[in-house]
Structure 1
Amino acid sequence: MSVCKKSNRKTVRTFCNAALLSTLLSPLALLSGASQASLLYKVEGNNLEQPSYVFGTMHVLCQQDFKTGDALLQAFADSEQVVMELDLSDSSVAQKMNQMVINPEGPYLDQYLSPEQLTTLSDFVQAEAGVELTQIAAMRPFVISSMLVTQQLDCAQTASYELFLTMQAVSNQKPIIGLETVEYQFGIFDQIPLSEQTQWLWEMAEDPEKSKNLLVKLKDTYLAEDAEQLHQLIVDQPEYEEYTDMLLYQRNENWIEKLATNFQSAPTFVAVGAGHLGGERGVLQLLRDAGYSVTMVE
């Protein structure tokens, strides 16, 4: 279902804009981790009267790769509320994102890149996104990177689990709960030096095949539901090593207490970037540590 390409309804456009801007708040947001071949898990125990579910998403996929199996749809139907990283049904989320995509201090690229590097980056942006670098030069570097990575998927049409689940929840009148705010997510990147973020952007332009090959590898591993390998691919990226704790693990830990409250209030369907699921400090293990039974749904 490629809603973003096919509909002009105002509400849908709001969902699409928010989904696009939240696509890659970090490359870590793409993916998963757990020891078996599944991205859907049942959560029971701790005196829960009914089970809840946790699903790992890839925020943007090509339309032909987008799948919703019977188990996923049944788990969603059995849940009374939906929890995601952001509540994309809230129009203020998209509005805040649109307000915050611009770097607070304005254009910055020429402070960190040479004229030759700027020329290479400009050519890359034009080739991948079809826009002039000057049109987006004031955007935060991770926002530009997100736009370019989405283009590198090379899809005729894209689809988003977050968008799909948001529209399903709205259609079925299921409440949506956001684990984080736009301000918090953008604030994470305020803690990473602008010079370093610019360097990551430059590396995409300098060696586009390298970044595209990594993206394809991550996508293929996601489609194979090899969650542990996905987690390993993420944490092995040297440029993010210093920030993995802030981008991934601290957020996981912040979510567990909130999820416990959600699970107690009603059967809950949780959908987060699959990179948050795996590893010793992933959501699945933290839920087990908190006393829940977490089992794979094939």
Structure 2
Amino acid sequence: MRYVIGLVFVFVSSCSFANVFFKVEHQTQPTAYLFGTMHMICNADVRVPNSVIDAFADSEQLVVEIDLTDHEQQRFLQQNVAQHPANYLEKHLSNEQQQRLKTIIEDQLGYRYQQIKSLRPIFINALFLQHFLNCQQDPLLLDELFIQQAQVTKKPIVGLETVAMQLALFDRIPLQEQVQALYDMAVEPSQSREDLQQLQAIYLEDNSEKLFQVMRSQDDFDTFEQPFLSQRNKNWMMDLPELIAAKSTFIAVGAGHLSGTDGLLSLLRQQGYDITPIPLEFIPQQ
């Protein structure tokens, strides 16, 4: 169940170019930029390239997966952070398994088990993934970085979907399967840690083709590619053309959304947009 790495953390895979940053142009519309992000990365390992910063600064609006500056989205997330039923771990794990998970969470993550055991599995998984990154300081959330900068500069922010839509995707995965994936990650962390650190290293090489091979190797990933990537891309394309036609736009979404026949790059080209890859060099923080 290694697909959890992709679903929780990055959604990274390949695109038709070995890059993660693109200029999107149309004869009659303002220039747009599409940046494929990793949703979490060690801050000390990377400085966002100047070409990305400049493109963002020149854009009139920011488009992201979810606009968490929206109070309604914040409220919904706070109200739905817990899994129902709250004792779901007790229902799906033996007493021995619960005790083992409790020990790992308290000893390794530093959280009281009673404090977080009712959270949705996706959120507990995220705590483990942050731990596996082993960052010297808090990880850098690339999407959040652009959102914060947009707030500072009073740049409009547009979300392509809602918190409810994303949580509904995870609710499609049987709860027993989510719990098993969480437990496996906790008790056998070496593979998840290796996958995660490998993904970060490849991303920083600006090599989306190689990322694709790593992501596709994860268990059951094909099963979840359609609902988590392809269908969402098609839904987003119902709004994106109108958004980028209105004003110059910087789009920041998980890099996996760029890829394949139903990837954003392909769907944009089908609608007459010219796509130009912009090579990046991720320079470590000094």
How far residue 199 of structure 1 moved from its aligned partner, in angstroms, is 0.9
Name 2:282's counterpart in structure 1. Answer: none
Of stretches 186-195 and 238-247 in structure 1, the one that deviates more from structure 2 is: 238-247
Q: Tell me, what secondary structure is at the counterpart of 2:83?
A: coil
Name 1:248's counterpart in structure 2. Answer: 229
After TM superposition, the structure 1 = structure 2 runs for residues 191-270 of structure 1, keeping only pairs within 5 Å, are 191-270=172-251
Answer yes or no: is 1:275 the counterpart of 2:256: yes
How far residue 152 of structure 1 moved from its aligned partner, in angstroms, is 1.3
Asked whether the equivalents of residues 202 and 211 of structure 2 are also in contact (C-alpha less than 8 Å), the reply is yes
Q: Tell me, what secondary structure is at the counterpart of 1:148?
A: helix
Of stretches 181-190 and 229-238 in structure 1, the one that deviates more from structure 2 is: 229-238
Q: Tell me, what secondary structure is at the counterpart of 1:257?
A: coil
Name 1:289's counterpart in structure 2. Answer: 270
- Of 4, 15, 24, 1:34 maps to 15
- Of 20, 25, 48, 2:28 maps to 48
How far residue 54 of structure 1 moved from its aligned partner, in angstroms, is 0.3
Q: TM-score, normalised by structure 1?
A: 0.86
How far residue 135 of structure 1 moved from its aligned partner, in angstroms, is 1.9
Name 2:158's counterpart in structure 1. Answer: 177
Asked whether the equivalents of residues 231 and 279 of structure 1 are also in contact (C-alpha less than 8 Å), the reply is no
Count of aligned pairs between the two proteins? 274
Q: Tell me, what secondary structure is at the counterpart of 2:22?
A: strand
How far residue 208 of structure 1 moved from its aligned partner, in angstroms, is 0.7
Name 2:106's counterpart in structure 1. Answer: 126
Given residue 84 of structure 1, which amino acid in structure 2 is its aligned partner? V
Asked whether the equivalents of residues 36 and 256 of structure 2 are also in contact (C-alpha less than 8 Å), the reply is yes
Q: Compared with structure 1, are the counterparts of its residues 141 and 275 closer, same or farther at alpha carbon in structure 2 (3 Å cutoff)?
A: same
Answer yes or no: is 1:147 the counterpart of 2:146: no
Q: TM-score, normalised by structure 2?
A: 0.90
Given residue 23 of structure 2, which amino acid in structure 1 is its aligned partner? K
Q: Compared with structure 1, are the counterparts of its residues 167 and 239 closer, same or farther at alpha carbon in structure 2 (3 Å cutoff)?
A: same
Q: Which has the higher contact order (CA 8 A, sep 6+)?
A: 2
Q: Tell me, what secondary structure is at the counterpart of 1:82?
A: strand
Q: Tell me, what secondary structure is at the counterpart of 1:124?
A: helix
Take 1:39 and 1:238, find their aligned partners in 2: how far apart are those partners? 24
Take 1:27 and 1:140, find their aligned partners in 2: how far apart are those partners? 12
Name 1:108's counterpart in structure 2. Answer: 88
Q: Tell me, what secondary structure is at the counterpart of 1:54?
A: strand
Q: Compared with structure 1, are the counterparts of its residues 29 and 63 closer, same or farther at alpha carbon in structure 2 (3 Å cutoff)?
A: closer
Answer yes or no: is 1:98 the counterpart of 2:74: no
How far residue 168 of structure 1 moved from its aligned partner, in angstroms, is 1.3
Q: Tell me, what secondary structure is at the counterpart of 2:77?
A: helix
Q: Tell me, what secondary structure is at the counterpart of 2:230?
A: helix
Q: Tell me, what secondary structure is at the counterpart of 2:29?
A: coil
Given residue 110 of structure 1, which amino acid in structure 2 is its aligned partner? E
Given residue 275 of structure 1, which amino acid in structure 2 is its aligned partner? G
Given residue 155 of structure 2, which amino acid in structure 1 is its aligned partner? K
1:8-59 superposed Cα distances (whole Å, 9 cap, x missing partner): xxxxxxxxxxxxxxxx8923634242243421101112x4332101001111
Asked whether the equivalents of residues 19 and 277 of structure 2 are also in contact (C-alpha less than 8 Å), the reply is yes
Of stretches 220-229 and 233-242 in structure 1, the one that deviates more from structure 2 is: 233-242
Q: Tell me, what secondary structure is at the counterpart of 1:68?
A: coil
Name 1:11's counterpart in structure 2. Answer: none
Q: Tell me, what secondary structure is at the counterpart of 2:158?
A: strand
Take 1:265 and 1:236, find their aligned partners in 2: how far apart are those partners? 40
1:233-271 superposed Cα distances (whole Å, 9 cap, x missing partner): 223311333222111111111111211111111111000
Asked whether the equivalents of residues 39 and 141 of structure 2 are also in contact (C-alpha less than 8 Å), the reply is yes
Asked whether the equivalents of residues 44 and 136 of structure 2 are also in contact (C-alpha less than 8 Å), the reply is no
- Of 146, 152, 157, 1:165 maps to 146
Asked whether the equivalents of residues 64 and 160 of structure 2 are also in contact (C-alpha less than 8 Å), the reply is yes
Q: Compared with structure 1, are the counterparts of its residues 203 and 241 closer, same or farther at alpha carbon in structure 2 (3 Å cutoff)?
A: farther
Take 2:57 and 2:245, find their aligned partners in 1: how far apart are those partners? 18
Q: Compared with structure 1, are the counterparts of its residues 176 and 64 closer, same or farther at alpha carbon in structure 2 (3 Å cutoff)?
A: same
Take 1:272 and 1:245, find their aligned partners in 2: how far apart are those partners? 17
List runs of 5+ in structure 2 lacking aligned partners. Answer: 280-286
